[in-house]
């Protein structure tokens, strides 16, 4: 299949497919006599794997490592487990950081409850003096 068909079947942009090739996440496809990229079912399956990993917010480095491990089916999966545990911890850290951000925004929003002249806006003042972080 050509790149447009691969893009359609995976819901992935053509430019993203080319980027994954450049990053060596996708193997280089064969070329037609007209120099069109020709992909096969293995490319499709691998791209779907990559897209699923990206939907879980995995980095390209993590995906590269998982793809490498996947190519060694006789190894045990302890390294995959450890990678996922690390990723889960990163997500938990992000959730905590977002919770703190939300609290700062709530404090900031509470500084301006009504319609006031801009010079009296508590939100702008809070942004100026960083009082939402106290």
Global pTM? 0.80
Tell me the pLDDT of the chain (134 aa) as tens digits.
Answer: 999 999 999 999 999 999 999 999 999 999 988 999 999 999 999 999 999 999 999 999 999 999 999 999 899 999 999 999 999 999 999 999 999 999 999 988 888 888 888 888 888 888 888 877 76
Phi and psi at residue 75, in whole multiples of 5°? -70, 155
Let me know if 50 is exposed, middle or buried by CB neighbors in 10 A (0-12, 13-18, 19+).
Answer: buried
Residue 134: what pLDDT?
67
Residue 62: what pLDDT?
96
Classify residue 27 by its DSSP letter: P
Instruction: Tell me the two tokens of residue 117.
Output: 């002249």
Residue 133: what pLDDT?
75
Which residue bears the tokens 């045990």? 76
How far is Cα 9 from Cα 122, in angstroms, rounded to an integer? 51
Instruction: Tell me the two tokens of residue 48.
Output: 């779907």
Helix (H, G, I), strand (E, B) or coil at 89: helix
Half-sphere exposure (Cβ direction) of 31: Cα atoms closer than 13 Å: 5
């Amino acid at each position: 299949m050509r790149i447009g068909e691969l893009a359609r079947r995976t819901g992935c942009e053509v430019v993203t497919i080319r980027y994954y090739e450049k990053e060596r996440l996708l193997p280089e496809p064969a070329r037609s006599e007209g120099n069109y990229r020709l992909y096969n079912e293995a490319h499709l399956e691998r791209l779907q794997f990559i897209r699923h990993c990206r939907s879980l917010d995995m980095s390209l480095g993590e995906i590269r490592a998982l793809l490498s491990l996947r190519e060694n089916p006789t190894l045990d999966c302890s390294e995959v487990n450890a990678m996922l545990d690390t990723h889960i911890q990163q997500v938990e850290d992000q959730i905590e950081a977002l919770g703190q951000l939300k609290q700062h925004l709530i404090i900031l929003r509470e500084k301006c409850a009504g319609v006031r002249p801009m010079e009296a806006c508590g939100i702008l003042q809070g942004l100026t003096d960083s009082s939402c972080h106290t």
